[in-house]
């Protein structure tokens, strides 16, 4: 084969992979919206969330804007609805009152957009123009839809009523970490990426960051450990909370993670996608806000890791000095590496994914629960918005906190360990937990 022929073959392989990812993603969006009736699709289940039918048409509208109109240069299918589905024009709480497409119209709209997208994919060179190089714009839209799928999953969790989502139980613990924490030696590592073709603007550029030696927990904090914090009076011990955290704890009357209730004999129960069940002891705690995570950490004499510490523990390979894609290496995640992609409807117990651990023995950094870090969401030095300011730039330095690692509801297309998520410190409806860290002693630093 000549070089030109082999480049064409590579491009066709990439095209087929993109088409498969678009389809896989759409099947998830449709499963999340076909599982409830029209009344539930158009209802607002929480003022924090959009009606599910808004999310569905919005992913179609973003796909139309970027792939059909910008990449494909085609005429709009429905420019009349752009304004309704612009997330910056209407707060989530106001969306139910908009003249939205009804469920049948929304399904027809996303199907029509997808037909055009596949035509565009067929005829677009995936090299050259930065927006489409290595299929970036398609990858961006796939990840955007997957992010809304996780948001829709959170809406399902907030919804009241009989269970409508079903999935096999997460795997059991087979090899819990052998130590509580590991010492991550001090030194430089490469944070962020220039090499990942589908990395988003906020992960770029790659740069060298020095991180002092620190200890990191080998597992996220479990429900059992969190219940001990509650039993020790965690929600009443002012000294364990930051000033901002305590003010919020008072105002919001926080007493336990969201969705937890306690019965008269002191057993903790949780509501999970319409099922009420005892809180499982060895799963990572989920549905806590940053302030609760920080209070817990202080109660055990620890702190949250910074974002740089988290990423170094997840990516830095001391043997080669390289930063890898995932805690276990560069290989794509399989169902034996991490609990991702809504394959299960809970975090998995600690010790369920020994294959996904780092060489140093840190487990479950990716999957299960998003992990709060102590870092505010800011741009890496050299950050440049691409391809639009509203993806990340408008959120930088806006009071948002970084979360890392992805949850059981996060798609593998975002499982690279450079991926950054952010939310407000008070948010609890997201699938967020945490793990703790502490400074190394002076002797351990040298
Ligand atoms: Fe969006």
Counting the structural domains of the chain, the total is: 2
Residue 235, domain member (yes or no)? no
What's the CA gap between 28 and 31, in Å, rounded?
A: 5
The Å distance, Cα 222 to ligand 1 centre, comes to: 31
pLDDT in tens, 418-437: 999 999 999 999 999 999 99
Q: What is the mean pLDDT of residues 282-300?
A: 98
CA of 14 to the centre of ligand 1 (A): 25
Same domain (yes/no): 389, 421: yes
What integer is the mean pLDDT of 198-215?
A: 97
Is pLDDT at 5 greater than 90 in this prediction?
no
| Residue 131 pLDDT greater than 80, yes or no | yes
Ligand-binding annotation for 287, yes or no, is: no
Distance 151 CA to ligand 1 centre (A): 10
Six token digits for residue 194: 């220039």
- The model's pLDDT over 76-108, given as tens digits with 9 standing for 90+, comes to 999 999 999 998 999 888 888 899 999 999 999
> In terms of domains, do 392 and 433 share one?
yes
CA–centroid distance, 389 to ligand 1, in Å, is: 13
Q: Does residue 216 share a domain with residue 133?
A: no
Q: Indicate if 57 and 205 belong to the same structural domain.
A: no
Gap from CA of 29 to ligand 1 centroid (Å): 13
Least confident of 1-10, 322-331, 358-367: 1-10
219 part of a folded domain: yes
Give the pLDDT band (50/70/90) at residue 392: very high
Q: What is the pLDDT of residue 7?
A: 82
Give the mean pLDDT of the chain.
Answer: 96
pLDDT at residue 6, rounded to an integer = 85
356 and 425 inside one domain: yes
Using the mean position of ligand 1's atoms as its centre, give its distance from the Cα of residue 206 in Å: 25
Q: Quote the tokens at residue 201.
A: 């603007």
Residue 251 known to bind ligand: no
210 and 302 co-located in one domain: yes
Q: Determine, yes or no, domain membership for 266.
A: no
Question: Contact 415/199 with Cβ under 8 angstroms?
Answer: no
Determine whether the annotation assigns residue 247 to a binding site: no
- Mean pLDDT on 31-51: 95
pLDDT of amino acid 1: 66
With cut-offs at 50, 70 and 90, classify the pLDDT of residue 128: confident
Q: Which of 158, 190, 213 is the last residue of a domain?
A: 158
148 annotated ligand-binding residue: yes
Per-residue model confidence as pLDDT tens digits over 338-350: 999 999 999 999 9
Between the CA of 391 and the centroid of ligand 1 the distance, in Å, is 8
| Structural domain ending residue among the three candidates 158, 192, 209 | 158
Question: Directed axis angle between helix 103-123 and helix 3-34, to 10°?
Answer: 170
Q: Is 240 within a domain?
A: no
Q: How far is the CA of 74 from the centre of ligand 1 (A)?
A: 21
271 carries a ligand binding annotation: no
**DSSP track, 352-398:** S-GGGS-TT----SSSSSEEEEEEE--PPTT----S-TTTTGGGTTS
Say which CATH number the domain at 421 has. Answer: 3.90.1580.10
Q: Is residue 337 situated within a structural domain?
A: yes
Q: Are residues 91 and 194 in the same domain?
A: no
Same domain membership, residue 84 and residue 193: no
* 163 occurs within a structural domain: no
185 and 43 fall within a common domain = no
> Residue range 306-313: average pLDDT?
98
In a domain, 166, yes or no: no
Over residues 367-386, mean pLDDT: 96
Cα 62 to ligand 1 centroid, rounded to whole Å: 7
416 Cα: distance to centroid of ligand 1 (angstroms): 20
C-alpha 148 – ligand 1 centre gap (Å): 7
Same domain (yes/no): 201, 106: no
For position 14, which CATH number holds?
1.20.120.450
- Name the region of 91 (left: φ>0; alpha: ψ -120 to 50; beta: rest): beta
Does residue 252 belong to any structural domain of this protein? no
- In this predicted structure, the answer to whether residue 446 has a pLDDT above a threshold of 90 is no
Residues 31 and 149 in one domain: yes
What pTM, to 2 d.p., does this model score?
0.97
Annotated binding residue at 137? no
416 is in an annotated binding site: no
Q: Tell me which residue range forms the domain holding 215.
A: 181-223+284-445
Distance from the CA of 140 to the center of ligand 1, in angstroms? 11
Instruction: Say whether both 316 and 387 belong to one domain.
Output: yes
């Amino acid at each position: 084969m000549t070089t030109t022929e082999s480049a064409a073959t590579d491009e066709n392989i990439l095209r087929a992979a993109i088409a498969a990812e678009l389809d896989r993603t759409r099947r998830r969006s449709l499963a999340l919206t076909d599982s409830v009736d029209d009344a539930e699709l158009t209802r607002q289940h929480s003022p924090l969330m959009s009606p599910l039918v808004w999310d569905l048409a919005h992913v179609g509208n973003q796909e139309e804007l970027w792939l059909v109109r910008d990449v494909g240069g085609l005429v709009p299918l429905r420019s009349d609805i752009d304004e309704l589905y612009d997330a910056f024009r209407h707060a989530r709480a106001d969306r139910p009152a908009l003249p939205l497409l009804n469920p049948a119209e929304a399904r027809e709209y996303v199907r029509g957009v997808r037909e055009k997208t596949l035509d565009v994919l067929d005829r677009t060179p995936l090299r050259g123009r930065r927006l489409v190089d290595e299929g970036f714009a398609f990858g961006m839209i796939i990840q955007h839809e997957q992010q809304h799928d996780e948001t829709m999953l959170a809406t399902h969790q907030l919804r009241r009523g009989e269970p409508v989502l079903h999935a096999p139980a997460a795997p059991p613990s087979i090899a819990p970490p052998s130590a509580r924490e590991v010492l991550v030696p001090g030194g430089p590592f490469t944070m962020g990426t220039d090499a990942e073709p589908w990395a988003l603007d906020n992960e770029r550029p790659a740069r060298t960051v020095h991180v002092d030696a620190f200890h990191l927990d080998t597992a996220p904090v479990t429900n059992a450990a969190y219940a001990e914090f509650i039993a020790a009076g965690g929600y009443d011990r002012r000294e364990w909370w930051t000033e901002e955290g305590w003010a919020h704890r008072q105002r919001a009357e926080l007493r336990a993670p969201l969705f937890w209730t306690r019965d008269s004999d002191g057993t903790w129960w949780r509501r999970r996608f319409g099922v009420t069940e005892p809180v499982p002891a060895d799963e990572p705690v989920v549905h806590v806000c940053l302030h609760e995570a920080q209070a817990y950490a202080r109660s055990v004499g620890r702190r949250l890791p910074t974002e740089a510490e988290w990423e170094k523990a997840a990516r830095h390979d001391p043997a080669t000095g390289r930063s890898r894609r995932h805690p276990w290496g560069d290989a794509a995640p399989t169902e034996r590496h991490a609990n991702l992609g809504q394959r299960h409807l809970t975090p998995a117990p600690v010790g369920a994914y020994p294959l996904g651990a780092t060489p140093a023995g840190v487990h479950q950094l990716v999957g299960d629960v998003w992990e709060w870090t102590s870092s505010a969401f800011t741009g890496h030095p050299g950050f440049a918005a691409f391809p639009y300011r509203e993806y990340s730039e408008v959120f930088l330095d806006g009071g948002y906190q970084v979360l890392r690692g992805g949850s059981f509801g996060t798609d593998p297309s975002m499982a690279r360990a450079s991926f950054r998520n952010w939310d407000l410190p008070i948010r609890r409806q997201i699938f967020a937990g945490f793990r703790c860290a502490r400074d190394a002693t002076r002797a351990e630093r040298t």
